[in-house]
Amino acid sequence: MTARDRTRAPETPGSTRGPDRVPETPGAASGQDRTPETPGEASGQAPAPQGRPGTPMLDVRDLRVTYRNGERAVPAVRGVSFTLDRGQTLGVAGESGSGKSTMALSLLRLLAPSAEVSGEVLFEGEDLLTARWARLRAVRWSAASVVFQGAMSALNPVRTIGEQICEPILLHEKVGQREARRRAAELLDSVGVPSRRAGSYPHEFSGGQRQRIMIAMSLACRPDLIIADEPTTALDVMVQAQVLELLGELVRESGIGVIMISHDLSVLSHMCERLAVMYAGRIAEIGPSRQLIAEPRHPYTRALGRAFPTIGDPASRLAPAGLPGDPPTPSELARLSEGRGCAFEPRCSEAVAACRTETVELWPSGPRREAACLRVLEGSGT
Ligand SMILES: Nc1ncnc2c1ncn2[C@@H]1O[C@H](COP(=O)(O)OP(=O)(O)OP(=O)(O)O)[C@@H](O)[C@H]1O
């Protein structure tokens, strides 16, 4: 995508709301911006991110997130690193509680204040974890935006969808009402919702249409990156397939980078060229989707793979077929945090003694592939 005018520091339009991390009322300004900022900062002019030639659009380094509630600490993300180039699609898979949403939402600092985040999130070379709030808000929407599941709770019920799509355009770009309305109409048509319905309210649409409207909103300021967290989970299978198809088309046409989270490997392998499989807050395996699915190197990826085809199957969210035991509980995560050994070892049918004692990291497991498994390192985990 070409560089765009991203000079106006945005407010926080409703649809950037997180799913459940930060409760808020419909239509209220997003509660995600809770850190106090200096007076006048929010209205400051924020320059566009400047990508450096040869650097990835997104470079995530040793990302760690710990939720702290009093004495209790849950290390939900324990050292995640990856890169994403412009126009690339990365799927993030894993069982419930593996840290997918925490990881993705922390990239734009969309987590509740109880989340302590460290590491680096370099977006076009700029670390979003240390960026000032005004700067971060400029990046949200206009450079990187988020699509959540549950569009009804994210859309403002008392404003028309046309108004809601115009809002970020008017806030973030130097355009007038007429141009914003024209863009909103174009966006609605592009996601298959007739633009003549721009004056309708969210409750007048079906679940699938509302999710399409959310996608239109996320595209309103033509971002370079979309983070889609289970964007179709609440929809029935047919509508899910249509919305995914639409998202895929838009991504292919516009060259937007996407990070898509799902429990469902089949959805991700269809939509994304690369796949990261998360387990207990870490990446267990990462590489080209087709190769990961066809020849998984990590025993956990193999177990997840046995669970599909599962589009829309809620059972696969919690217990992939053939995989005994449960993922670590939050308190087990805390014990695991800095210890040696592989977090998956208690459930792994291929584990050896060293898996309990050795430090496990992501090691190269093939062209453009890595897996965090000692057996891969030994050359016997394939
Ligand atoms: N606000 C919070 N406070 C404390 N712990 C939390 C909070 N949010 C998530 N966690 C814990 O962090 C870990 C990772 O949760 P997260 O929601 O990121 O996983 P997930 O892979 O996205 O799961 P799901 O697929 O069910 O959404 C879990 O152990 C979860 O219980």
What value of ipTM does the predicted structure carry?
A: 0.98
Mind listing the pLDDT tens digit for each residue in 237-281? 777 777 778 778 877 788 889 999 988 888 888 889 999 999 999
Mean pLDDT computed over 127-131 = 96
Which one-letter DSSP state was computed for residue 229?
Answer: E
Sign, Cα dihedral of 234, 320, 359, 285:
negative
Distance (angstroms) between ligand 1 centre and the Cα of 102 equals 6
Q: What are the residue ranges of helices labelled H in the chain? A: 100-107, 133-142, 151-154, 161-172, 177-190, 207-219, 237-254, 265-271, 289-294, 299-305, 315-318, 330-336, 354-357, 374-378
| Tokens describing residue 160 | 């028309």
Averaged confidence pLDDT in the chain: 79
What is the residue type of 177? Answer: Q
Distance (angstroms) between ligand 1 centre and the Cα of 93 equals 14
Give the residues across from 8 on adjacent strands: 45
Residue 67 Cβ contacting ligand 1 at under 6 Å: yes
Q: In what order do the strands lie in the sheet with 257-261?
A: 144-148, 225-229, 257-261, 89-93, 274-279, 282-288, 369-371, 363-366
Element (H, E) at 92: strand 89-93
Residue 336 Cβ contacting ligand 1 at under 6 Å: no
Spatial separation of the C-alpha atoms in residues 304 and 94, rounded to whole Å: 8
Q: How confident is the model at residue 21 (pLDDT cuts 50, 70, 90)?
A: very low
Spatial separation of the C-alpha atoms in residues 252 and 299, rounded to whole Å: 32
Backbone phi and psi for residue 339, each to the nearest 5 degrees, phi listed first = -70, 165
What is the distance in angstroms between the CA of the first residue and the CA of the last residue of the chain? 39
Q: Give the per-residue pLDDT at 308.
A: 59
Ligand 1, from 101, 278, 332: best to mutate by most atoms within 8 Å of Cβ? 101
Contact 76/236 with Cβ under 8 angstroms? no
Residue 51 Cβ contacting ligand 1 at under 6 Å: no
Model pTM? 0.81
Cβ partners under 8 Å of residue 319, min gap 6: 95, 326
Mind listing the pLDDT tens digit for each residue in 35-92? 333 333 333 334 445 556 678 999 999 999 999 988 888 999 999 999 999 889 999 9
Distance (angstroms) between ligand 1 centre and the Cα of 133 equals 24
